[in-house]
Chain A
Amino acid sequence: MAVKVRIPAPLQSLTGGAAEVEVQGRTVREVIDALERNYAGIKARLCDENGELRRFVNVFVNDQDIRFLQGLDTELGENDEVSIIPAIAGGN
């Protein structure tokens, strides 16, 4: 299933500047693996060595935080949109 993924500003250097990309995946985990196949290096920015999301990275399916769903195993449906939202610290 094709899913739209929102790429945050700090990771857009890995997607050739694209703020939104489309990949295949039935779960959030599959979407991250698909992102890695298309944009090598992105998974390490999102996940730790155990494959779990880094603690400063949140993922939302539509407007819901996957920590309150099934985490990386959250299933995706037609027209679902995945947003990667890492903490950003700038302000000055």
Chain B
Amino acid sequence: MKENVWLRYQRQMLLDGWGEEGQRKLANAHVAVVGAGGLGCPIDIYLVAAGVGKLTVIDADVVEETNLNRQVLHWSNDIGKPKVQSAVEKLRQFNPQVEITPVHGHLTDETVDDWLKDADIIVDALDNFPTRQVLNRYAVKTRKPLVHGAIYGWEGRATTILPYETACLACLFEEGPPPSVFPVVGTTPGMIAMIQATEVLKLLLGIGEPLFNRYLIYDGLTMTFKTVKLRRRPDCPVCGSSS
């Protein structure tokens, strides 16, 4: 029976380090993706395709027409629906084996524990820095891995944070940029989303080399990928020795 249930995963189970054991690790995992927009939609799609056991999708917004150039789980007739509803409707059809929980609301210091306490891995698919800081503080406090992505125009960034082992988001940036409406072409969050989803799968399987202490910078215009080295800051207010 199990063979039939897992037939859809056959090709990935052929990979070294995957197999039935790896697929079982995925099936037993709970991933929370915070943000159901340009980054979140493709991340959700590929994690659901790969067969993670449980997925929590968190977002406070409703679908608007200006989202449709990049937020690929939201289609023309979804305008006005909560993004989590629009996303979950399709994701459940895509792979009914995944238990998907939509959460429609703003992630804050007050809500974060309720929504993320059961997650094994947290994915940052947010669109603003203050909420990222909430997420980073929570991930560090609870020692949950945090897979970060961010974009602007043709440029994207990604890193994977293992609290107290690697630099956290506050080690990297002491504060966020001034708020602004950023330009974006859908392929940029698409590219970064694929990197984030790949990082999640590697973490769950325990294989490969995640982006620990490495900050990946993607430039779609010149089609270059660059990585710089990150370090924990001893004076980091979130994970430093005095925090």
Contact = CB atoms under 8 A, between A and B. Distances in A.
Interface residues of A, number: 24
B interface, size bucket:
35 or more
Nearest to B175: A55
Interface stretch (A4-12, A22-30, A71-79): A4-12
A26 to B, nearest CB: 22
A60 B127 contact: no
Given A88-B152, A90-B184, A91-B38, A65 B175 contact: no
Q: Dominant SS at the A interface?
A: mixed
Contact of A6 (B226, B227, B233): B226
Contacts of A63: 227-229
A55 to B, nearest CB: 4
A56 B233 contact: no
B177 A86 contact: yes
A14 to B, nearest CB: 14
A92 B127 contact: yes
Given A83-B226, A91-B149, A91-B150, A56 B127 contact: no
Contact of B38 (A9, A56, A92): A92
Interface in B133-165: 149-155, 157
A64 interface: yes
Given A19-B221, A64-B229, A88 B177 contact: yes
B127 A88 contact: no
A1 B152 CA distance: 31
Contact of B39 (A19, A20, A65, A92): A92
B221 A65 contact: no
A9 B231 contact: no
A86 B174 CA distance: 11
With most chain B CB atoms within 10 A of its CB, the pick from A19, A86, A89 is A89
B230 interface: yes
Nearest to B125: A91
Interface of B: 35, 37-40, 61, 67, 71, 124-129, 132, 149-155, 157, 172-177, 179, 182, 184, 189, 215, 217, 219, 221-222, 226-231, 233
15 contacts: A9-B153, A19-B221, A55-B175, A63-B227, A83-B228, A87-B173, A88-B151, A88-B152, A89-B127, A90-B152, A91-B37, A91-B126, A91-B127, A91-B150, A91-B189
